[in-house]
Amino acid sequence: MKIVFLGEDSFSAVVLDSLILAKHNVLAVVCPLYINNVHSRLELVCNKHNIKFSRVDDVNSIRVQKYLQNLNPDLIVVCHFQKVLKKNIIKIPSKGCINLHPSLLPYYRGMSPQHWPIINGDNETGITVHFINEGIDTGDIILQQKVEIKPNMYVFDLQIEMLKIYKEIVKKSLDLLLNKKIKFIKQNNLVGSYYGRLKKSQCVININDDYLKAYNLIRAVSNPYFGARLNDYVIWRAEIADKKLNFNIQNEFKKNNIYFDNKYGNFIKFKKGTLIIKKYGKLKN
């Protein structure tokens, strides 16, 4: 199949590289034009394999539409591409457009799907490859694979586990597409969930909330993201205090707050639990 690939970061570069190594015919790569270097790894892969690489202001523009039509792809493969494709682009490839989405659709449609399952305390998430339609992550499902979220797993750890699957799941999906007997799974749009892009304002620890919610937030927004905020500090890593330590802190410290103590070290005291701070920094004004 002749493929055009749409991506924008190192995650999408891993998928692109897997398709090239599997000898798929990648005609070109299209990337949004951002004022940063997030595209650099993707561009390196293209340069290494002499694949056309373009950065565009508007993927749905008439100019891009004509460019893709001239390429005449059988399939458009999308991965970590934060732009919504419109009908004029979706209808170009004869076999459709497919997308890799890092959640178990129909749950966690939309943005930041690697963060929200950790924030919400889920014990599993996953990766879905699905057809693109005019909705947001609502197209028929080709393939899914689950990923365990371990109790001490940070977002970077989850992404490392997901990258192992990224290297295989799109290749497997293309094999399924070539098998005309495969039945795809239609999504039930009456169930599932949708989340927007994670914002700094959503990374603030509520000192009067449950300590497990704060722990989940810290794990979900740690490096290389915003970090969890409390007062003038950003908390990068923490762990739950054991029963004995929590008992002592709860008895000696009455106010819910962040403490830097000579006896117990650095910690955040909540009503029913304590988080031991392992890594933190001061917020810049």
Do 26 and 98 belong to one domain?
A: yes
Which of 173, 195, 217 represents a domain boundary (last residue)? 195
Query: What is the total residue count of the chain?
Result: 285
Do 206 and 190 belong to one domain?
A: no
Number of domains comprising the chain: 2
Do 100 and 56 belong to one domain?
A: yes
Do 209 and 166 belong to one domain?
A: no
Give residue 112's identity as a one-letter amino acid code: S
Q: Are 51 and 95 in contact (CB under 8 A)?
A: no
Q: How far is CA 41 from CA 59, 171, 238, in A?
A: 20, 20, 31
Per-residue pLDDT at 244 = 97
Which of 195, 215, 244 represents a domain boundary (last residue)? 195
Do 171 and 100 belong to one domain?
A: yes
The values of phi and psi at residue 163, to 5°, are -60, -30
Do 226 and 159 belong to one domain?
A: no
Please report which residue ranges of the chain form alpha helices under DSSP H: 10-21, 40-48, 62-71, 87-90, 116-119, 155-178, 211-220, 243-252
Do 189 and 205 belong to one domain?
A: no
| Domain span holding position 169 | 2-195
Do 214 and 184 belong to one domain?
A: no
Q: Are 47 and 36 in contact (CB under 8 A)?
A: no
d(CA 93, CA 147): 31
The values of phi and psi at residue 17, to 5°, are -60, -40
Do 218 and 257 belong to one domain?
A: yes
User: Dihedral through CA 18, CA 19, CA 23, CA 25, nearest 10?
Assistant: -160
Q: How far is CA 51 from CA 47, 48, 136, in A?
A: 6, 8, 29
Do 248 and 178 belong to one domain?
A: no
Per-residue pLDDT at 112 = 95
Does the N-terminal peptide bond of residue 93 adopt cis geometry, omega within 30 degrees of 0?
A: no
Per-residue pLDDT at 284 = 80
- 230 burial class (0-12, 13-18, 19+ CB within 10 angstroms)? buried
Per-residue pLDDT at 285 = 62
Which of 169, 195, 221 represents a domain boundary (last residue)? 195
Do 35 and 143 belong to one domain?
A: yes
Chunked into runs of 10 residues, the chain (285 residues) has average pLDDT values of 96 96 96 91 96 96 97 97 95 96 97 97 98 95 97 97 96 89 85 94 96 98 96 97 97 96 96 97 84
Per-residue pLDDT at 214 = 98
